């Protein structure tokens, strides 16, 4: 059975991920206490279920988080293909989402807090404590940072994750904008802001690194090619070491100022080259945000009588 364990920060988008998995045909179990995990998977396997997704997080208690790492070997010894999907977001994003939904954080009423009311101070404390509790799990799986990420982009990234062929090590290339901060899910970060910026070429300003004119412009600049060659050489040189460290995923973040031109082009080029060595996923964080912003600022269509 293929088993995907979903965990991470409350409010980061785990429910969205579970809905995607359910739509993809996975048997979904939400908010399961970790001590029942092996029994539940055994039961599903006995009924010929081939794909299952189980959410385990602090809602089931702090013990669930502590027990989860020790259960992964038991499932794999039974022959299951087990993957862990860890979803997170920065504190500012989580606070905003809780403010919008007016829901209480699952740790807000626990005895360690100085206040049991879901006010801003209690929420901040709850988020910090949850992050501390979950931090040991980050290294066990595939991490997605949903800070400033539209829900539709998260859905697409989860679909890419479950559709990717299972391999000893999967590369994930992610373009981002430094002005929005370095994504928390990046294992390696490369800064390409030193390269010529198509943003200052009037004909290219509104285009992206996915568009032909921008691709042609950057491909003709020797420094751009040299930067990509150097990043490729570094990644290829150290891939065996990361694979030997029992990693399943290696996320390589490439950032420029706005995440629109240079970083996108570099990510696409590197993913295409290295796809022959390892399976590769591609994410464009800033482009996903730009798409959302464009959709929300379109002028209203005038009603006709």
Q: Report the CATH number at residue 46.
A: 3.40.50.300
My answer on whether 139 and 217 are in the same domain is no
Average pLDDT, the chain: 89
pLDDT tens-place values along the chain, 305 residues long: 999 999 999 999 999 999 999 999 999 999 999 999 999 999 999 999 999 999 999 998 888 888 998 999 999 999 999 999 999 999 999 999 998 888 889 988 654 444 444 444 488 999 999 999 999 898 888 999 999 899 999 999 999 899 866 666 889 999 999 999 999 889 999 999 999 999 999 999 999 999 999 999 999 999 999 999 999 999 999 998 988 876 778 999 999 999 999 999 999 999 999 988 888 899 999 998 887 666 554 454 443 32
Residue 159 falls within a domain, yes or no? yes
267 with 176, same domain? yes
Strands of 179-279 (E only): list them. Answer: 188-191, 249-256
Strands 2-8 and 170-177: unpaired
Report if residue 302 sits inside a domain: no
Are 105 and 78 in a shared domain?
A: yes
Q: Are residues 135 and 203 in the same domain?
A: no
Distance of CA 133 to the CA centre of its chain: 19
Buried b (16+ CB within 10 A) or exposed e, 35-56: eebeebbeebbeeeeebbbbbb
Q: Is 16 among the domain residues?
A: yes
Domain end point (choices 163, 178, 199):
163
Q: Is residue 303 part of a domain?
A: no
What is the rounded distance in angstroms from the CA atom of residue 133 to the CA atom of residue 100? 25
Range of the domain at 125: 2-163
Task: Please indicate, yes or no, whether residues 9 and 136 belong to a single structural domain of this protein.
Answer: yes
Closest to 106 (Cα-Cα) out of 4, 14, 3, 5:
14
Phi, psi of 236 (to 5 degrees): -65, -40
Residue 147 shares a structural domain with residue 15: yes
Pair 217, 233: CB distance under 8 Å: no
pLDDT the model gives residue 65: 86
C-alpha span between 219 and 214 (Å, rounded):
8
305 is a domain residue = no
- pLDDT of 148: 87
Residue 229, domain member (yes or no): yes
So what's the pLDDT on residue 117? 46
Res 111: pLDDT: 41
Q: Are residues 86 and 102 in the same domain?
A: yes
Cα 242 → chain centroid: 19
Is there a contact between 254 and 175 (Cβ–Cβ < 8 Å)?
Answer: yes
> Which of 163, 181, 196 is at the close of a domain?
163
Whether 53 and 201 map to the same domain: the answer is no
Strands 51-55 and 2-8: parallel
Instruction: Record the pTM.
Output: 0.75
Give the list of residues 6+ apart from residue 98 with CB closer than 8 angstroms, or none: 11, 105, 118, 123
Question: pLDDT at position 93, please?
Answer: 94
Alpha carbon separation from 123 to 90, 109, 129, 249 (Å, rounded) = 13, 10, 10, 31
Does any domain span residue 236?
A: yes
- Is residue 38 located within the same domain as residue 148? yes
Tell me how many domains the chain contains: 2
| 141/179 same-domain check | no
C-alpha 157/C-alpha 62 separation (Å) is 28
Based on the domain organization, do 159 and 181 belong to the same domain?
A: no
Q: Cα separations (Å) of 16 from 132, 151, 193, 197, 292?
A: 23, 7, 33, 35, 17
d(CA 159, CA 208): 23
Domain termination residue (choose one: 146, 163, 180): 163
User: What is the tens place of the pLDDT at every residue in 30-59?
Assistant: 999 999 999 999 999 999 999 999 999 999
Paired strand residues for 81: 2
In this structure, is residue 249 part of a structural domain?
yes
Q: Is there a single domain that holds both residue 246 and residue 183? A: yes
Q: What is the pLDDT of residue 296?
A: 52
């Amino acid at each position: 059975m293929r088993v995907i364990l979903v965990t991470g920060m409350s409010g980061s988008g785990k429910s969205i991920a579970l809905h995607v998995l359910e739509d993809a045909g996975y048997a979904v179990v939400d908010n399961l206490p970790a001590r029942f995990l092996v029994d539940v998977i055994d039961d599903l396997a006995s009924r010929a279920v081939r794909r299952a997704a189980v959410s385990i997080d602090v809602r089931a208690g702090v013990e669930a988080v502590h027990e989860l790492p020790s259960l992964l070997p038991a499932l794999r010894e039974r022959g299951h293909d087990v993957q862990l999907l860890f979803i997170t977001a920065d504190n500012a994003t989580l606070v905003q989402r809780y403010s919008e939904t007016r829901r209480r954080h699952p740790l807000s009423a626990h005895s360690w807090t100085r206040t049991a009311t879901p006010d801003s101070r209690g929420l901040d404390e709850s988020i910090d404590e949850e992050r501390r509790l979950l931090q040991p799990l980050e290294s066990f799986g595939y991490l997605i940072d949903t800070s400033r990420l539209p829900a539709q982009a998260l859905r697409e990234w989860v679909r890419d994750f479950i559709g990717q062929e299972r391999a000893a090590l999967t590369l994930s290339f992610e373009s981002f904008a430094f002005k929005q901060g370095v994504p928390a899910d990046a294992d390696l970060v490369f800064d390409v802001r030193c390269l010529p910026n198509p943003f200052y070429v009037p004909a290219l300003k509104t285009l992206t690194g996915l568009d032909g004119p921008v691709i042609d412009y950057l491909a003709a600049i020797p420094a751009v090619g040299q930067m990509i060659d150097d990043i490729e050489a570094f990644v290829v040189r150290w891939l065996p070491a990361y694979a030997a460290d029992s990693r399943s995923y290696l996320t390589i973040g490439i950032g420029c100022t706005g995440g629109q031109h240079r970083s996108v082009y570099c990510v696409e080029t590197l993913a295409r080259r290295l796809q022959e060595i390892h399976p590769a996923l591609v994410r464009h964080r800033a482009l996903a945000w730009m798409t959302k912003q464009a959709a929300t600022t379109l002028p209203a269509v005038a009603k006709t009588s």
